[in-house]
Structures are given as structure tokens and as C-alpha cells.
Amino acid sequence: MQIIKGNLDEENLCELIDREFTRYAGKYDIRVDYNDFCFVAKENDALMGILVGHSYYKEVHVTDLIVMEEYRGKGVGTALIRRVEQEFEGQGYENINLTTYAFQAPEFYEKMGFEVEYVRKSADEKLTKYFLIKHFK
């Protein structure tokens, strides 16, 4: 056996992964329904922030939320999270989940109604990782 570093885009490995996850989940009568999403906050032509993630199984996962420094503290992050909630609420999903580090924004997400599920401590406190969840009603 040989282990090499691959390139997901060039080798169509993402398609293979999607196909195999779907096939395997189907054996257990589970629908994967994996979908990427992206929401962008703009003012005129200025990019204020971006939120990306994916939905699959019964959950919505936020992978990245970036608010440009000059727009922080002005409700951009809140508006982006609210947009995700609006998009997926009532669509059969159970929760929105995400991770963040101590130096980033755990308090912000808690103010948005997320609950801390788990904290993975790091020797460098700034890199302590928070796993958060917000259940749909």
C-alpha cells in the first residue's frame, strides 16, 4: 500500500466521498442530503461578512463566520446567524452547530442562544476549543 497526499479538486475525490457517504448511509435508511451554503453581508459593494457551512443528515453546521474588522460590533455576525436560522428552521433539521476557539467568539454564540456542548482545553488558553449547539424548536 502507498499513502500519498491527494488533491480533492483535481482527482474528483469530493464526488467519490459524497457518493460513498450517501451509499453507506442508505444502507441504514438515512438520507445524507449534504448541501453547502454561503451567506454574504454587503453594504453597497463593500463585503461586510461571510458565513459558510453545510447541512446534512438532520443538522446544520456552520464552518466559518468572518466579519470584516471595520464592521465588527455592528450586528453583521448576528444578522448572518439569523439568516441561517431563517433558512433552515422548519425544514426538518434538529440543530445548528459549530466550533470556535476562546480567542474568537464563544461569548457571541452564547448570546445568540447557542449552548456549550463540550470544551476541549488547550495548554494555550486562547486555543481552547468550544463546541456549541442551538436546537430548533
CA 83 to chain centre: 13
Kindly provide the residue ranges of all beta strands, DSSP E only, lying in the chain, ordered along the sequence. 35-43, 46-56, 59-67, 95-101, 115-120, 129-135
Task: Answer whether residue 106 shows pLDDT above 90.
Answer: yes
Percentage of the chain exceeding pLDDT 90: 82
> pLDDT tens-digit profile of 24-73?
999 999 988 889 999 999 999 999 999 999 999 999 999 999 999 999 99
pLDDT (average), residues 112-132: 98
Which carries the bigger pLDDT value, residue 68 or residue 7? 68
The class that CATH gives domain 31-135 is alpha beta
Mean pLDDT, the chain, as a whole number?
93
pTM of the model: 0.88
Instruction: Supply the pLDDT for residue 51.
Output: 97
Least Cα distance to 130 among 95, 111, 94, 104 occurs for 104
CA–CA distances in Å: residue 107 to residues 8, 15, 130: 35, 37, 10
Instruction: Supply the pLDDT for residue 13.
Output: 80
